[in-house]
Amino acid sequence: MTTILSVPPLSDITAVFSEDGPLAQHLPGFRSRPGQQAMAHTIAEAIRERRCLIAEAGTGTGKTFAYLVPALMEGGKVIISTGTKTLQDQLFERDLPLVRDALKLPLSVTLLKGRSNYLCLHRIAQAQHEDLFPSKQDARHLKAIVSFARTTTRGDRSELANIPDHAGIWPLVTSTRDNCLGTHCAYFDDCFVMKARKEALDADVVVINHHLFFADALLREEGLNELLPACNTVILDEAHQLPDIATVFFGDRIGGAQLLELARDAEIAIRTNANDLAELLARIDRLAPAIRQLRLAAGEFPGKFPASRLLLLPAFAEALQTLTKILDETASDLGTVAERSEDLGMIAARAQTLSRALQQWCEIDETADEENEDKAPLVRWADISPRGWQLHASPLSVAPIFRNFIENSARSWILTSATLSVAGQFTHYQHELGLESAQTARWDSPFDYEHQALLYVPTGLPLPNSKEHTDAVIDAALPVLTASRGRAFLLFTTYRALQHAHQRLQTAFVERAWDWPLLVQGEASRSELLERFRMEKNAVLLGAASFWEGVDVAGDALSLVIIDKLPFAPPDDPLLAARLEHLKKNGGEPFRDWQLPQAAISLKQGAGRLIRTETDYGVLMITDPRLVEKAYGKRLWRSLPPMKRTRELEEVVAFFEDENQRAQPG
């Protein structure tokens, strides 16, 4: 029996988005939006013609439905990649089923996560025979995991909500690409990762995240099998994150945590399969002290440093040489016993790979790379944390690699986000990814920002590099918080400023007898903090980094967003410094061509937290005088939504008084 789909013809996308169309019938409160329809038509054309489209959609455009409808209606296999778990879950659990059912399309949809999200039966069996756990709590967690593994069909660790994401047990019961035994594993037929991948191969629509997308891209670069299935269309949502994530995946990195994990896995495998090799165990025991010594030799203060600076420190150079020698000897010794078991064979291969990576980092010649036009130049740098370290070799530009990846695939590519352009131009973003020939399109937000929002830059503020700046930010914020009755995000460009602001606000809350909840990033998970913020209705939340984007608080729970500084990347970041120097050598102007566009995109992300619906009202307060006092400031605020602007506190207070009147019933 043939199923007749009661949906509009594929060419009539307008009908799908009409006031009486299938979406309106399935989604209470649905409203037809011209920008959404126009975006859907443009995406449909790009899919049909197998083109690459960069599409910016202002907040409220409805970009998710604008790409889902044409992607599903045009047919073929679709991969949708997102930057955050929140959007990934929203797509899979809510938006995709709704559109599929509205259009009455018999499509199968699956969610595919990275390997570390699934339990590994082999490593669980190993852990059960071990008595070395990071903590007693982890030993108790293992019992719950073993019980769960017997009953679960997907093996997704997120289903075990009572075990924290940061619990030390997870690396012991999940696998990585390095330690997976593949087809040699005794549990291969029951492997949760393999089951999830098979579902992805069979599904019409696969929802993934950017890290998994680039893991697949990297495997193809290396000539290995594809992780993800072949498809007709790839949609990359939250595409503003792609340049940074691509830089991580297309570079090389080796860290102390990796080596400690290798040592731990090697010890377990030797005790299980080669307990007679006491000398090899003694060799492995030398790794941990050498890893710690390298961190000590890097100096007291954490940060990101160019390799050239660290290698001038005699203690660091010596510690690095010692670690390299121990790792090389360990890899060689493990190689002699690799045939005793699959585990030992895999660990020996890991040790050899890590040993080569460490040696290559020591030997990279950035000058030679720059002179080789066929090779992406690498920048060698180190990220030193309070207790650990990572050594990076990052591509100076991901553009050649990403362009090659796009151009060598006969499929359509849709890259979309609310923040891809600067003052309406996509030049910077296209240059970052090597997509100068891609089609670009943008649709402004349908929100009435002139009446819904106010941009406030206080007068008399010190420059952001001064010691008194954070104190001045809080002093300026207090009367505005009084007017807004809490309901605020305070977004900071550094954790140091966030911590100082937290101390000042704690005192201010006591002095003013404010009983509003004061929430601070790091005190709980982001999702927990946001849930509390929404429920409390008058909370004040302090955040940095991850709170600048992907955070959606609609309604009157959030009516004030304060940004402490214009989000220019720190100039001492070694990768940024190398890119700016390269740009200058090639006739570019680093500030104009790189730093300013990057800051504009980041500022748009932070400002985008304020107005999320047609009925939201609020104030965006930016406590950086450069926005109005420097010539380049105009370029930055012109990249923001078209809000009214003021420097007068009285106008801010009046705005909130008007908001309160609007909120009164009748």
Query: Residue 3 has what pLDDT?
Result: 33
Query: Residue 95 has what pLDDT?
Result: 94
Of the CA atoms within 13 Å of residue 103, those in its CB half-sphere come to: 26
315-329, 526-540, 641-655: least confidently modelled range: 526-540
> Residue 666 — pLDDT band, cuts 50, 70, 90?
very low
> 494: how many CB neighbours lie within 10 A of its CB?
14
Question: Alpha-carbon Rg of the chain, whole angstroms?
Answer: 27
Q: Is pLDDT of 371 > 70?
A: no
Q: pLDDT (tens digit, 9 = 90+) per residue, 219-276?
A: 766 555 666 777 899 999 999 999 999 999 999 999 999 999 999 889 888 887 777 7
Q: Is pLDDT of 368 > 70?
A: no
Query: Residue 466 has what pLDDT?
Result: 94
**Closest by CA position to 128, among listed 148, 143, 149, 150:** 143
> 159: how many CB neighbours lie within 10 A of its CB?
11
CA distances from 75 to 229, 231, 406, 511 (A): 16, 11, 20, 62
Q: pLDDT (tens digit, 9 = 90+) per residue, 283-323?
A: 899 999 999 999 999 998 899 999 999 999 999 999 999 99
Q: Is pLDDT of 328 > 90?
A: yes
> Residue 2 — pLDDT band, cuts 50, 70, 90?
very low
**Token pair recorded at residue 188:** 């291969």
Task: Print burial letters for 121-158: b (CB count within 10 Å at least 16), e (below 16).
Answer: bbbbebbeeeeebeeeebeebbeebeebbeebebbbbe
Contact 236, 81 (CB under 8 A): yes
**Token pair recorded at residue 222:** 């290396």
Residues 6+ apart with CB under 8 A from 32: 17, 18, 19, 21, 24
Residue type (1 letter), 483: A
Residues 6+ apart with CB under 8 A from 474: 501, 504, 505, 508
Query: Residue 290 has what pLDDT?
Result: 97
Region class of 555: left (phi > 0), else alpha (psi between -120 and 50), else beta: left
**Token pair recorded at residue 130:** 């071990």
373-382, 459-468, 489-498, 547-556: least confidently modelled range: 373-382
Contact 79, 111 (CB under 8 A): no
In DSSP terms, 440 is beta-bridged to: 54
> Residue 94 — pLDDT band, cuts 50, 70, 90?
very high
Average pLDDT, the chain: 90
Query: Residue 283 has what pLDDT?
Result: 85
What percent of the chain has a predicted confidence (pLDDT) above 90?
70
Q: Is pLDDT of 372 > 80?
A: no
CA-based diameter of the chain, in Å? 83
CA distances from 461 to 194, 466, 596, 626, 629 (A): 57, 10, 21, 10, 11
Of the CA atoms within 13 Å of residue 475, those in its CB half-sphere come to: 10
Q: Is pLDDT of 184 > 90?
A: no
> Residue 472 — pLDDT band, cuts 50, 70, 90?
very high
> 63: how many CB neighbours lie within 10 A of its CB?
24
Q: pLDDT (tens digit, 9 = 90+) per residue, 584-640?
A: 999 999 999 999 999 999 999 999 999 999 999 999 999 999 999 999 999 999 999
In DSSP terms, 531 is beta-bridged to: none
Query: Residue 107 has what pLDDT?
Result: 94
Task: Print burial letters for 556-584: b (CB count within 10 Å at least 16), e (below 16).
Answer: bbbbbbbbbbbbbbeeebbbbbbbbebbe
Question: How many angstroms separate the CA atoms of 55 and 405, rounded?
Answer: 19
CA–chain centroid gap for 10, Å, is: 34
> Residue 119 — pLDDT band, cuts 50, 70, 90?
very high
> pTM value?
0.91
**Which of the 8 DSSP states describes residue 161?**
T
